Structure 1
């Protein structure tokens, strides 16, 4: 569970349907806190492990979904937090599952005409900023 320096669980209820976020790696803890403290992030959720995308390589479960307020309106984004953005270094079936997940988000966006649905593999908020900056300039 994400906790502050004193070990007290951080309350994410102002922006998330869940008051607490369970993190499985350091990168998720930092990302959760960054999402909480950003003013342009209006809502987010650490997706439960039951939220899966079927792929030919097994079930894929993305980490985050969020709504970011951009100058031209909202942007709905799915984020996968990893130790690297180079999916070739992930090992095992993580790379093909992540790629299949990205294709799923892209297909849903295209078929439903959702120009503001994006997906990215990120290591931290600076990677996420790059994705959002690309969306603003598009």
Structure 2
């Protein structure tokens, strides 16, 4: 049995999975679809955004030089997209930083409890109550 391949329509961006190239016809545009140079499994492992990015790049590369010239300034001067991505990354880093700070705080408290216990600064009542023994 032949492995599935990923095909896309260079006009509308529709993509599908086919075993034979003759079956790869866009249901929307009724044109022959182009094969992607990535295996079916690797394509399935990508996120939806990564798939869209890959298909967009292939569509732009296969488009006329006129379309490529129109999109060139957009790529260079797309500050809003860059700012949005940086804002998302900052949010991710802040969340990660908060988790790390909570971990450090927990470790700090645990270490100080062990130091107090080892130096005899924790009353035995607390340790006995933890074991279920009444003083």
Q: Same fold (TM over 0.5)?
A: no
TM-score category of the 2 structures, normalised to the smaller one: under 0.3
Greater share of strand residues, 1 or 2?
Answer: 1
When Rg is computed on C-alpha atoms for both structures, the one with the higher figure is 2
Which TM-score applies when normalising by structure 2?
A: 0.23
Greater share of helix residues, 1 or 2?
Answer: 2
Which TM-score applies when normalising by structure 1?
A: 0.23
- Kindly indicate whether structure 1 or structure 2 has the higher relative contact order, using CA contacts under 8 Å at least 6 residues apart: 1
